[in-house]
Structure 1
């Protein structure tokens, strides 16, 4: 069975309410009770009216829901409210999928920041949101306010545009930043890193470091060096630790290709760069398809306090424009 996540509005209030009631009724009894338990179909419709929401459906049965609340500040912030997964569907990773869908929806709507409110009495819930990249920003008893930047999604039509994206992003980076790159073989991870190296002004041609695993590119000026790591052949986090990257992290910009699931512990804050083919896998594998020329979609997802305090992730134009 395939789980589908849909954008919905007030017309789906009854389905969203069913998920909210099931999810919040299954939580520990709180004092004061969760506001969600007092929701009605009419109040949920009112919450959905400004910005809509997401409904996760499994074989026709609603199993997850979240309201996307613009927050009334001109669109800069989106609040994820009434987030819940039906107890019958837990243990399948759907909560993480729904959070990621909510973040992407907020980013595509133009929001710069996504905020949630978690109850202080539920440390596992607070830990879940922290694990999803949210940082505590305030406490308003009984709530913990947590936030993270909304992801930025960029369509990249060519390899030259991918390099230009890397060059532009270099202007947002400082020593100590860690980038975790993911995407299938040939997606453009090394091409992106080449542009990044040009933007940082480092020495040496940047190629895939598969056979040496890690390569250091010193700065030609006063900026940070670039440490380029390919984790494709690493067997686990222990082998990544053996590279002793900690010695370079504070003084360099570190890029880890194939780092998902391995490099998240390198730093408290990181920038995840996910590259996918815009045409989809079927088109990419079609006879005669130009795998290098396929348009790409790049998702920039910033996690941790360093990025929450930083200006927006939109890459700066590199000097002289596209090359």
Structure 2
């Protein structure tokens, strides 16, 4: 299996995201059935409950899959279909014992990044309105309703802006340019593997905003406030790595400073989306070639505030 990303869960266990093959079809089928079988009963039942290994093999042949392994055990999966410039997300499944740990968010992020690299322009999915929490989860990830048939909603979103940063200096330079787009009240949620460059990008943003103080990872203090030296917004730098839920993030009382500051949350995927309806998702990925230090920076505008400045993001 080709490894796509590696990181750690909040409890310290290893999470690997890989691209599965047909040999994984039986394990994936069992995973999908277990995940969908844990949902409330609806009528008609979701087709996923009748998934077969043969169906998984056919779906992988028509697109690709993204499989999450926790300590090398299958924990979650996403199946992606590709039809020209549009793609579809299907069978988003996380085993019950692995839920609420950001695995679904990580899977969707990697799937969207792969589609971006392939030149796909948009992605859509179907969600049942009987599962309002599921629909709300997709909305928080930038999907909006584009069609409805009975209780089935079609949700869609554009794919991210992709930037290349061959060196750490390039990552900081992108951060400085991004700072020109930022304003008080903005929320930025930064994700990526350990050492991918989240803090390096934040240092560039801090330089562009002209804030005080040295910007380092706030892992042990959870958050730091860097006041502006030029009368602009402060930068609130948060590290959610050790936080297990959005409720723990609420304990930091970030809402007190949200309106007057730029709030950047590292390791915020799956945790910080509730801070604002509009936010900028930043995901940083390294190449798997150890001789290549290039970072790929994916910027995903969520909400009207950020979709309105997409052209400025593309110009970065």
Mapped contact 1:217–1:226 kept (Cα < 8 A): no
Give the superposition deviation at 1:56.
2.9
Q: How does 1:254-273 map to 2 (within 5 A)?
A: 254=262, 256=264, 260=268, 264-273=273-282
Q: How does 1:99-178 map to 2 (within 5 A)?
A: 99-166=108-175, 168-169=177-178, 177-178=186-187
Report the TM-score, using the length of structure 1 for normalisation. Answer: 0.66
Structure 2 equivalent of residue 64 of structure 1:
76
Helix, strand or coil at the partner of 2:235: strand
Give the superposition deviation at 1:41.
3.3
Helix, strand or coil at the partner of 1:62: strand
The structure with more radius of gyration: 1
Cα-to-partner distance string for 1:41-95 (whole Å, 9 max, x where unaligned)? 333332222221123345665332221112x2x22x3221012123454465533
Distance 1:209 1:55, change over 3 A: closer
Give the superposition deviation at 1:277.
6.8
Distance in 2, Cα, partners of 1:215 & 1:154: 28
Mapped contact 2:112–2:159 kept (Cα < 8 A): yes
Mapped contact 1:237–1:263 kept (Cα < 8 A): no
Report the TM-score, using the length of structure 2 for normalisation. Answer: 0.67
Structure 2 equivalent of residue 189 of structure 1:
201
1:44 corresponds to 2:56? yes
The number of equivalent residue pairs is 284
Root-mean-square deviation (CA), in Å? Answer: 4.3
Q: Which moved more, 1:208-217 or 1:125-134?
A: 208-217
Distance 1:64 1:295, change over 3 A: closer
Give the superposition deviation at 1:256.
3.2
**Higher strand proportion:** 2
Distance 1:38 1:312, change over 3 A: farther
Structure 1 equivalent of residue 104 of structure 2:
95
In structure 1, runs of 5+ residues without a counterpart are 198-203, 220-224, 284-293, 318-323
Distance in 1, Cα, partners of 2:15 & 2:285: 20
